[in-house]
Amino acid sequence: MPSCADAGGGAAGRWASLVAALEGVERWLLPPSCLLCEAPVPVREGDALICGLCRSRWAPVAPPWCDRCGQPLAAGLECRLCAAWPAGLARVRSAVWLRDSARDAVHRLKYEGWWRAADALAEAMRVLEPLTDGVSLIPVPLGARRQRRRGYNQSERIAAALGRRMGLEVRPGMLSRSRETPTQTALTPEARLANVAGAFTGTPGVAGRICVLVDDVFTTGATLAAAAAALVDAGAARVEAVTFARAELPVRLT
Ligand SMILES: [Zn+2]
Ligand SMILES: [Zn+2]
């Protein structure tokens, strides 16, 4: 990817014009209808792949919540979701619940190749507390095999969209996955933590930075906790995380 610093000319400038031209062709080829409800997208919503009505139906995750993991929690109660996390992940916030059309949006982004839907997801995440001036956005990396199969990393697309909207730097190279992990779907929270422990490595470039991990969905936070531990090991000053959606947990957190 070209850097933003020389976007005005040279190779980066030509790249930007090529991207703009291809987006123009895509808009011309595709009817301007919402990816989720197929209603026409009004001109004033420009390039949005997901219409305003669909986005307004996404249910925000609202307080009171656990100050650390952002899971809704009555005041005064102890949180059982993040109690077993290793040290390092200071705070996580998610924009909306993984329900209905928010679930559909994630599905389109993740499994159907609609990576430009990341813009609509990023727009819903702008209000999240960890996203303050000067932080470095670090997308959670996919395993090499999954990334090859999908062709892109959905978390990287969301981080790039957030970075553009909020003027924040995006540093995908600062965290890598050092081993593939089996799918987590059927695991309990404790088993998930063990499954991903040591799966990530941070680079020395992360030293002294305030990092915000970016992911599409928060389930138990095990992946984010393991990624944060790797960044702290590499010298990060502080690590927080944001996700577009938060899954409603079917498991009892005991
Ligand atoms: Zn719609
Ligand atoms: Zn918690």
- Going from the Cα of 41 to the center of ligand 1, the distance in angstroms, rounded, reads 8
- pLDDT tens sequence across 49-75: 899 999 999 999 999 999 999 999 988
Burial of 203 (0-12, 13-18, 19+ CB in 10 A): middle
| Nearest C-alpha neighbor of 217 from the set 98, 99, 109 | 98
- Going from the Cα of 81 to the center of ligand 2, the distance in angstroms, rounded, reads 5
Q: Residue 183's pLDDT is what?
A: 73
User: Rounded to two decimals, what is the model's pTM?
Assistant: 0.84
Q: Residue 137's pLDDT is what?
A: 98
- pLDDT tens sequence across 111-146: 988 888 999 999 999 999 999 999 999 999 998 888
Q: Which ligand gives the minimal distance to the CA of 58?
A: 1
- Going from the Cα of 210 to the center of ligand 1, the distance in angstroms, rounded, reads 36
Q: Which ligand gives the minimal distance to the CA of 40?
A: 1
- Going from the Cα of 11 to the center of ligand 2, the distance in angstroms, rounded, reads 46
Q: How confident is the model at residue 254 (pLDDT cuts 50, 70, 90)?
A: very low
Q: Are 52 and 45 in contact (CB under 8 A)?
A: yes
- How distant, in Å, are the alpha carbons of 27, 106, 152, 176 from that of 111? 21, 8, 10, 22
DSSP strand pairing (169-170 vs 238-246): unpaired
Q: Which ligand gives the minimal distance to the CA of 49?
A: 1
- Going from the Cα of 239 to the center of ligand 2, the distance in angstroms, rounded, reads 15
**pLDDT of 177 higher than 70:** yes
Q: Residue 216's pLDDT is what?
A: 97
Q: How confident is the model at residue 156 (pLDDT cuts 50, 70, 90)?
A: very high
- Going from the Cα of 78 to the center of ligand 2, the distance in angstroms, rounded, reads 8
- Going from the Cα of 220 to the center of ligand 1, the distance in angstroms, rounded, reads 29
Q: Which residues line ion ligand 2, judged by CB < 5 Å?
A: 66, 68-69, 79, 81-82
Question: Diameter of the chain by CA atoms?
Answer: 58
- Going from the Cα of 51 to the center of ligand 2, the distance in angstroms, rounded, reads 33
The angle subtended at Cα 129 by Cα 74 and Cα 54, nearest 5°, is 85
Q: Which ligand gives the minimal distance to the CA of 67?
A: 2
